[in-house]
Amino acid sequence: MENERIFTQTTLKKSGYNRAKIVKYNYRDGKEKGQRPPEFKMSFVIFDKVGKIYKTGDVEVQALRNVSFEIEKGEICVVVGQSGAGKTTLLNILGGMDTLTSGRVLLDGKDISSLSEKQLASYRRFSIGFVFQFYNLIPNLTALENVEIASQLSKNPLDSRQVMEEVGLKDRMDNFPAQLSGGEQQRVAIARALAKNPKLLLCDEPTGALDYETGKAILKLLQDTCRKSGMTIVIITHNSALTAMADRVVRIKNGTIDSVAINENPEPIEDIEW
C-alpha cells in the first residue's frame, strides 16, 4: 500500500522471548517521510540479534549468539546465568565498553552499535552509570570526592552531597575508602554512578564481594532508587533468587537467551532469602 511503513515491535510473554511481530502502519499524505505514528512506542533498551566473537590468533570464541530482548524504561532487569554464560559481555556491550560483531543495540532510540570510539566515550560519560563488583574507588580521594569527580564529567549531574545522604553516608563523606567497610564502599560506588544522573544504571555482580546482610542492603538501595526516581537498572548476577526483585528477568545460557520473563509482582528485597 502507498506510503506504508513497517516497524518491528518485539513481543514478550512470561514464557520468554518470541519472534518479532510485524506491525504495519499506514501514513496519510502530507506526513513527514519515516515519521512513526503516535501509538508506536519503542522499548528503552533493544538487543536485536546481537552476536559477539572474540578472536585470539586462529581461535574464535563466540561469547554471544543471536541475542534479542528488550527492557522498558523504569524497569529493574536482572540478567542471570552461570559463570561464562555471556552476562558480562552483554553488559559491556550495553555500556559501550565493548563492541558487537553482529546485530544492533539501541538505547532510548539511539543505535549505539554504530558509534565510533569517540562517540562511545561520550555515551559512557553521559548516558551510563556503572557499579562494579569491586567498587573501583580512587584510594587517595575521600568518599565525597570520589562522587564529585564523576559528577563533574556529566552534563546534568545531581548534587553530590545530597546523593551521599540518600545512600546513607551523610556522616562518612570525609572518610577515605580504606576507612570504610565493604558495604559503605559499595554505597559510595552507587552514589558515584547516580550522581551522574545517567539514563541507565548497570550493575555487575554488585553484591558479589559483600556478606549476606550487607548485600541485601545494597540491593534494597538499588530497588528503592528505581522505584523513587524511575531509573532503569540492569543487574548482572549468577544468583537466581534475585530474579524475584526484578520487573524483567533475562536468563542467558551458553551465550544465548534461554528465556525472557515479565514479573508482574516484584518482591521487596527484604522478603527474599537465599
All domains of the chain in start order, with CATH: 42-271 (3.40.50.300)
Q: In what order do the strands lie in the sheet with 200-204?
A: 128-131, 200-204, 232-237, 76-80, 248-253, 256-262
More confidently predicted of 273 and 28: 273
Instruction: Determine the pLDDT at residue 3.
Output: 38
pLDDT higher than threshold 50 for residue 21:
no
Q: How many CA atoms lie within 13 A of 215 on its CB side?
A: 18
pLDDT, averaged across the chain? 86
Contact 151, 162 (CB under 8 A): no
**Across 19-23, 45-49, 158-162, least confident range:** 19-23
Nearest 5°: CA angle at 256, between 252 and 257? Answer: 55
Give residue 20's pLDDT band: very low, low, confident or very high (50, 70, 90): very low
Instruction: Determine the pLDDT at residue 40.
Output: 54
Amino acid at site 104? R
Amino acid at site 127? S
Q: Give 35's DSSP letter.
A: P
- Residue 159: φ, ψ to 5°: -70, 125
Q: Which residue is associated with the grid cell 536485536?
A: 48
The predicted-structure confidence for 208-226, as pLDDT tens digits, reads as follows 888 899 999 999 999 999 9
Instruction: Determine the pLDDT at residue 209.
Output: 83
pLDDT higher than threshold 60 for residue 232:
yes
Instruction: Determine the pLDDT at residue 2.
Output: 36
Cell of 76: 529493574
pLDDT higher than threshold 70 for residue 61:
yes
Give residue 33's pLDDT band: very low, low, confident or very high (50, 70, 90): very low
The predicted-structure confidence for 88-120, as pLDDT tens digits, reads as follows 999 999 999 999 999 999 999 999 999 999 999
> Whole-angstrom Cα distance, residue 137 to residue 3?
54
Contact 219, 157 (CB under 8 A): no
What percent of the chain is modeled with pLDDT above 90? 73
DSSP conformation letters of 116-181: -HHHHHHHHHHHEEEE-TT----TTS-HHHHHHHHHTT-SSPPPHHHHHHHTT-TT-TT--GGGS-
pTM of the model: 0.82
What percent of the chain is modeled with pLDDT above 70? 85
The predicted model gives 199-207 an average pLDDT of 93
